[in-house]
Structure 1
Amino acid sequence: MESTEPDTFYDQHPFDWVPPDSSEPIRAVLSAPLVEWIESLAPTALVLDIGCGPGRVLGFLARRGMRCVGLDRSRVSVGLAAERYHRPGVVGDNLHLPFADAVADAVISDGVIHHTEDPQAAFVENWRILKPGGRMYLAVYKDSGRYPWLYRYPGALIRAGLRHSWARPLVALLARVPYFLVHFIRSRGRRTWGAAENLFYDYFVTPQVAFLPRSVVEDWCTQQGARVLSYDEGRGANVHSFCLAKEPSPKMPPSRDAVLAAEER
């Protein structure tokens, strides 16, 4: 039985498609803007990866010796990430993060908030936990390219088929097998069935998706006082990305009493 309930779905399909035993494959599947952003962080930064999945980003951070904590709504994903990379993980909801205000030096939301019921509220929650002077990496599905059409039309047929036991063999024959073969050929035999299956479910079956124009995300940033340091349109990819900065807290002028006390000394 295929579940379309988010919590159950992400436990059944934790998108575990990165080999855990080598740093090179992890780096290879991370986007260039994300790698560049991580490499620009201070080595002592505390990084929270919100929506960490099985830990591909945590693995990259861990191998750089950085302090990092992952959060995901899938207990299975959090367990895989902790087992592989020996970094703490938390099971939680992107819309109600179990972290105090201004706790993180850096926040990563790599292809996550577009899978929530309210992407803007999820963005605000991620922003809340970022320290003044901190930085955030945000990647979301864009509203252009082929993927929105693929999810809405072929994807709708696939999701409908998976809800009926009699149709699942047809979905496997007409969609999952061809999808695997394409990936197998393109990867020159490196893509496994399991990895291709996880990608298939991520692209076509995931129960909640929003496609977000650049202007919408930039409006959110304006509302939160977020400064956009850089933008990458994600040419050839399904996502576009934003590197954001939270302004440092303004230094308050000393009080009159403090000034008088200093003068007396």
Structure 2
Amino acid sequence: EKAGEIIPKIVRVIAAKRPAGAKPISPPTICPCCDKPLTWRDIPEGFVGFRCVNSNCERYLERRVAKKMPQQCRTKPTKQNPQGTGCDEPVEAIDHMPDLLCTNAECPAKICADIEFFAGRGQMDIETLGPEVIDQLVSAGLVRHVADLYELRAEQVAGLDRLGEKSAKNLIDAIEASKSRPLAKLVAALGIKHVGNRAAEILTGHFRSLDAIAQARVEDLAELRDIGGKTASAVYD
């Protein structure tokens, strides 16, 4: 079926149609972009991970987390679905989430993803700075970190593929305009683990400047309401 009527979604495994001699697929261990090791995403602190053991269940392929390990595969009832979803079969614990992450902080693909997130509409909202332009900027060595965006010059950007002087000027203007975004938007856009819009609002509301946040001790950060030790450590690091 299609998730949101657009993206294909795997719903279940049909074992009866599995070819004879089929072998399990081994997940990759090396990043295809930078050839560095991959690692599984950890289960969030304070949660347990689990999955349904029934291969015919519509939720079999999902990897879920909860504060407490459930006894069976069944979600909580909602107004839209009073019965919840699931097959009521047992669940089993898992020791990691299904996402594979590159361990290399300098991986070009990770740098591109970080910049794309930073420039997104929900963060710094830098118009015209899309994936293709970001990829060119990183490949050309013009940008290795989001801070490098603010050092770009129009003549550098104009030399990229399918960009001219007008497009370059528009991009530089959009980057310049992003400087007026609220401080909380900047903090949330940095991609600090566990720091979303709400945590960013709390941090900036208390410390008032990026320098003050950077200089804060872990204890000071953890004392803030709704900022736990894990978030405080991530900000401090």
Higher strand share: 1
User: Same fold by TM-score, threshold 0.5 exceeded?
Assistant: no
Q: TM-score, normalised by structure 1?
A: 0.23
TM-score w.r.t. length of structure 2: 0.25
The structure with the greater share of residues assigned to helix is 1
Larger Rg: 2
Higher RCO (C-alpha 8 Å, min separation 6): 1
